[in-house]
Copies of this chain bind each other. A is one copy, B any other.
């Protein structure tokens, strides 16, 4: 259902500020917190003493303390201490490799021996001062792959987001899907069109006229386990579109980290990284607010899809050319799961 030997976004740093956080990831109930050395940590959300949720406890002097009877849990899943008790024989609980990077806390739900920082892709927008980032989190009652499908076929913008980023020309422009190494790439280019409201606002924010024809692009990049980075933008028409100089365009990367919760629900970390006016936090806040409103429009659709699919388990869906991005992404996911299964049985 989901690859386990992979880094997933578990939470944002503010979610573990001064207190633990309970979150189910890939079906596993985890307690995330920040330890005394400032390092994020993740252990099973199950106190070995009486089974209480450790996430209801506290972080005290950098240590995770169970809020029921004071057991102190180590980041490795071994009990550190408990008042008046010898804890040497206490059963170990699971701990999960954790990495903090790009402004997110990442967790590896699978075999810890395979967890290497190298397995995390590089995201330039997250590390370079040329970019500004803002984002948020939604909980969605739908299989995480339905969100991958959604993001790999932006045709839906015309319908789901008609009043903000949708426009009829999306529908009318062909898409191309390629598998490039470990990446699925779906692209669509629209030349000499009028920008929809969201992009007109972006042009204005970038000091550009908003009433002239533009070239618009959408280039979706899927990588395992379930990241979708989408290069989006508009350039004043005739300047090379996606390749146009920064001065005549407004461009961003839509950032989507999709973390399965259960087989039919997920955590959706969405955001936007932009390359213009990067020192303007008010613009970041206003884009974030607008994106949050737009991206919330997808939730009802995906949740209706999930209910329909549960209602009709055997039913095949269509795989049109516009669906090729999602189809290829799902194949990549299936191959990763099959490889894990094969390795486990070997």
Which of A's residues lie within 8 Å of B, judged by CB?
29, 45-46, 48-53, 56-57, 65-70, 82-85, 90-91, 149, 153, 155-156, 158-160, 171-172, 174, 300-301, 304-305, 307-309, 311-312, 315-318, 320-323
Our pick among B83, B301, B320 for the contact of A172 (Cβ within 8 Å) is B83
Q: Are B84 and A317 in contact (CB under 8 A)?
A: no
Q: Are B305 and A159 in contact (CB under 8 A)?
A: no
Which chain B residue lies CB-closest to A28? B311
Q: List 12 A-B contacts (CB under 8 A).
A: A29-B308, A29-B311, A45-B308, A50-B305, A51-B309, A68-B156, A68-B160, A69-B156, A69-B322, A70-B155, A83-B158, A91-B318
Our pick among B46, B69, B85 for the contact of A308 (Cβ within 8 Å) is B46
Q: Are B155 and A52 in contact (CB under 8 A)?
A: no
Q: Are A312 and B46 in contact (CB under 8 A)?
A: yes
Q: Are B51 and A155 in contact (CB under 8 A)?
A: no
In the assembled complex, which residues on chain B have CB atoms less than 8 Å from the CB atom of A91?
316, 318
CB distance from A30 to the nearest CB of B (A): 12
Which chain B residue lies CB-closest to A307? B53
Q: Are B317 and A50 in contact (CB under 8 A)?
A: yes
Our pick among B51, B156, B321 for the contact of A317 (Cβ within 8 Å) is B51
Our pick among B70, B300, B315, B318 for the contact of A158 (Cβ within 8 Å) is B70
Q: Are B83 and A305 in contact (CB under 8 A)?
A: no
CB distance from A310 to the nearest CB of B (A): 10
Q: Are A308 and B67 in contact (CB under 8 A)?
A: no
In the assembled complex, which residues on chain B have CB atoms less than 8 Å from the CB atom of A57?
159
* Contact (A318, B70) CB under 8 Å given A29-B308, A84-B174, A172-B84: no
In the assembled complex, which residues on chain B have CB atoms less than 8 Å from the CB atom of A65?
159
Q: Are B49 and A317 in contact (CB under 8 A)?
A: yes
Which chain B residue lies CB-closest to A320? B85
In the assembled complex, which residues on chain B have CB atoms less than 8 Å from the CB atom of A318?
48-50, 90-91
Q: Are A305 and B51 in contact (CB under 8 A)?
A: yes
CA distance A320 to B82 in the complex (A): 11
In the assembled complex, which residues on chain B have CB atoms less than 8 Å from the CB atom of A304?
52-53, 56
